[in-house]
Structure 1
Amino acid sequence: MATGRVVRFDEVRGYGFVSPDGGGSDVFLHVNDLLIDKSLINPGVLVSFDLEAGDRGLKASAVSLASDRASSSPRTDPRPASAASHASAPDARTDLDDGTCEVLSVKDYTDEVTEALLISKPPLTGEQILSIRERMVRLAMSHGWVES
């Protein structure tokens, strides 16, 4: 069973997309594959699901909330989950003395950008998020902020 965050879900049309925690392309999500009420599926919600091959690529099936705590209580920390966990780690260095910053993997950077977009602009469509993420990764690579 995989987990990921809902990027976008249109209740009227009955479909959306999930960004898998393991990385890779966003996964199609259809209302018929939900094991929970569709009103619980909102951008940023952590879900668990099975991956299946669909007509146009991978799709999520048997979709449920990943955990009661993670999905029912809103996050109070405005930082992306990975940034918050890095900051609470005992050996985390938030301010480097030499003015450099930690270089992230493309996956970690993409996860951070996705979460920041979901928190700051929940109405963004999945297509808009994918477009912004692609441009942000190219920018980060050109500055050496991520390792390819």
Structure 2
Amino acid sequence: MKTGTIVKYDGTRGFGFIEPDTGGEDVFLHASILDEQLKQVLQGGMRVQFEAASSNQGTKAVAVRLLGAVSQAPAAQVPAVKQERDDEELCEVLSAAEFSQKITDVLIEAAPSMTGGQILQVRRQLVSFAQRNGWVEA
């Protein structure tokens, strides 16, 4: 089994994402594979052990087991890097992982009817666009 961190889990909508410790794309997590007790406590930042399988909409978790206590999500641990602009205004440059998490949060809130596969597809394109334009760290 692989290990990772829950990036986002929406118990009301019944899905979320796992960021694998080995890197790569986040893994879609649907509530249908969780036992009732885990559905009640699962939240962002929790460490999990999981098995994943490829599907036509990306990688999805097929088994999940909670590891240890709640911790902060990895994106929250990434220090913000400040970069000075010509006009002396400072802006925060996010890591690709942090930018990806923020996109997920916005999409879940703004478009609740989107499927996990659609969220992954939009997020992948936005992160790629941001990286090409130097808006996020590579």
Structure 1 residue runs without a partner (length 5+): 69-80
Task: Give runs of aligned pairs for residues 18-97 of structure 1, distance below 5 A.
Answer: 18-20=17-19, 22=21, 24-29=24-29, 33-36=33-36, 45-46=43-44, 48-54=47-53, 59-63=61-65, 82=76
Aligned residues: 126
Match of 2:9 in 1: 6
Return the TM-score normalized by structure 1: 0.54
Q: State, as a whole percentage, how many aligned pairs show the same letter.
A: 28
Structure 2 residue runs without a partner (length 5+): none
Match of 2:128 in 1: 138
2:119 and 2:11 mapped to 1: Cα distance?
9
Higher strand share: 2
2:62 and 2:52 mapped to 1: Cα distance?
9
Cα drift, residue 2 of structure 1: 3.3
Cα drift, residue 131 of structure 1: 1.8
Structure 2 residue identity aligned to 1:139: F
Q: Is the 8 A contact 2:9 2:17 kept in 1?
A: yes
Q: RMSD of the alignment, in Å?
A: 4.2
Q: Which deviates more from structure 2 when the two are superposed, residues 27-36 or residues 2-11?
A: 2-11
Task: Determine helix, strand or coil for the equivalent of 2:25.
Answer: coil
Cα drift, residue 63 of structure 1: 4.4
1:42-80 per-position Cα deviation (integer Å, ceiling 9, x unaligned): 9xx53653222547666352446x979xxxxxxxxxxxx
2:39 and 2:11 mapped to 1: Cα distance?
13
Task: Determine helix, strand or coil for the equivalent of 1:101.
Answer: strand
1:55 and 1:138 mapped to 2: Cα distance?
21
2:135 and 2:27 mapped to 1: Cα distance?
26
Task: Determine helix, strand or coil for the equivalent of 1:103.
Answer: strand
Return the TM-score normalized by structure 2: 0.57
2:113 and 2:131 mapped to 1: Cα distance?
27
1:84-117 per-position Cα deviation (integer Å, ceiling 9, x unaligned): xx89xxxx98xx9822412222111111111221
1:106 and 1:55 mapped to 2: Cα distance?
23
Task: Determine helix, strand or coil for the equivalent of 2:91.
Answer: coil
1:59 and 1:115 mapped to 2: Cα distance?
19
